[in-house]
Amino acid sequence: MTLHTVAKEGEIDLGTNKPVTINGENILLFHLDDGYYATQSRCTHLFMPLKKGKIRDGCTLECPFHRAQFDIRTGEPVKWANFPPGIQLINTIRKEKALKTYPVTVEGDDILVEVVAEVETA
């Protein structure tokens, strides 16, 4: 596990996110009322980018493509893709799946994200 400094306090407006890349992993760093959270940057439904997703109820991210919703703090799906009508056919093979999340800490003015380094095997 390695901590990576990815932003400074005050850099990310409340209710917005900042895309960061750590060790090739594309991550969104969110600033919510109760702190900072990090998730994978692509939706688990059809892998579309979540950067422009809406934050609802302070901590739920809605994918802008088919409206799946995820709890930003845990990555767990709150509601699965339901738009446009007919998307349920795709959902028979694309089952609910949580977003990957990453621990975030604040040290002084630095915001750090923890990423587990890949272990190479011979």
Residue ranges that bind ligand FES, judged by CB under 6 A = 43, 45-46, 48, 63, 65-66, 68, 81
Question: Rounded to 5 degrees, what angle do the CA atoms 15, 18, 24 make?
Answer: 145
Helix H or strand E segment including 87: helix 87-91
The residue among 89 and 119 lying less far from ligand FES, judged by its C-beta, is 89
The residue among 3 and 48 lying less far from ligand FES, judged by its C-beta, is 48
The residue among 6 and 43 lying less far from ligand FES, judged by its C-beta, is 43
Q: Which of 82, 87, 39, 92 is nearest to 61 (CA)?
A: 39
CB of 40 to ligand FES, least distance (A): 12
CB of 65 to ligand FES, least distance (A): 4
A 10 A CB-CB count for 1 gives: 7
